[in-house]
A and B are shown apart, each in its own frame.
Chain A
């Protein structure tokens, strides 16, 4: 446990450090984002998981799980928003291909329509509440249920994306592999003193899916995939993803990568959500 914890702590520290070097050295804002969103997020998760393994207490393990889940959810979202904003502000380097230039889609309308009550979402919120309090008392769980029901009543909740457990697990394994590969590549990119291989481009990738949950899953996974970063997900009127590529070779290669990711993402959801509401 001690050895594992030390290794994780060390690896996480190294990734955090490499992210900082990348941010300091890479030539443009979007290239810097590749370093900060990919490496620093995984580094943070590894440090906390490693520290929890060293602390050897169940409470610390709970915190580590919470931090990891939280970071996996929030990092692609903030990466997507920052990437979009930086692109619109023109803070990218010289682009070999720029399919995005001149497009400023209006911010999407908030989803409307019928609302759906989801028991699992209420239970999830309650569980999160208990984890945050680190106290498994009945009263804490009751309070968590109240919070969950309140969120469910107040929040927007048009579609319930129904997830198929086994494909979801397969996607998670694939995703973790992608995260590892992209961090290894990024570490190489940062650690080598030459930048000849950085060739930035923004590629338009039309999606085949009509389902917003699938598109969002693809957009978020792209941010953690090797060498790619989501810049914009938009309706033209079909769903189109704009992807920033750190080492561009050609459009078709990028599109093929996104297509492969999309196929995996489509399998995660039950088909009844793949029609657009």
Chain B
């Protein structure tokens, strides 16, 4: 088997393991962490493809996926913080 294909299969199995955590949770933080990892593994598998096709086809998508993973993680973190502030605690913070 072509080593690049082998690497992609291993990464896909990894993505499946991480998806288990996306489904299982239990907290939203777990899901966001795991989803971030799935995207990073997808970017890795696409990056491995550069070995076969050169930079023409996959270079830009790799950067785009990595960027989406980063933006998703940052937004996810912000979402948890905004969502989880109980009201009385917010008032405490203002005094």
Contact = CB atoms under 8 A, between A and B. Distances in A.
Interface of A: 5-6, 9-10, 12-14, 16-17, 19-21, 23-24, 29, 32-33, 36, 40-41, 43-44, 47-48, 50-52, 54-55, 57, 59-60, 62-64, 66-67, 70-71, 74, 77-78, 81-82, 84-86, 88-91, 104, 106, 132, 134
B25 to A, nearest CB: 9
B41 A89 contact: no
B41 A88 contact: no
Interface residues of B, number: 52
B50 A24 contact: no
A84 B70 CA distance: 15
B73 A104 contact: no
Interface of B: 3-4, 7, 10-11, 13-15, 17-18, 20-21, 27-30, 32-34, 36-37, 40-41, 43-44, 47-56, 59, 62-63, 66-67, 70, 73-74, 76-78, 80-81, 84-85, 89, 93
B13 to A, nearest CB: 7
B43 A23 contact: no
Given A17-B11, A44-B44, A91-B27, A82 B36 contact: yes
Contacts of B85: 104
A138 B50 CA distance: 27
B51 to A, nearest CB: 4
A67 B81 contact: no
10 contacts: A16-B14, A23-B21, A23-B33, A32-B30, A44-B47, A55-B55, A67-B63, A70-B66, A77-B74, A89-B28
A9 B78 contact: no
B74 A48 contact: no
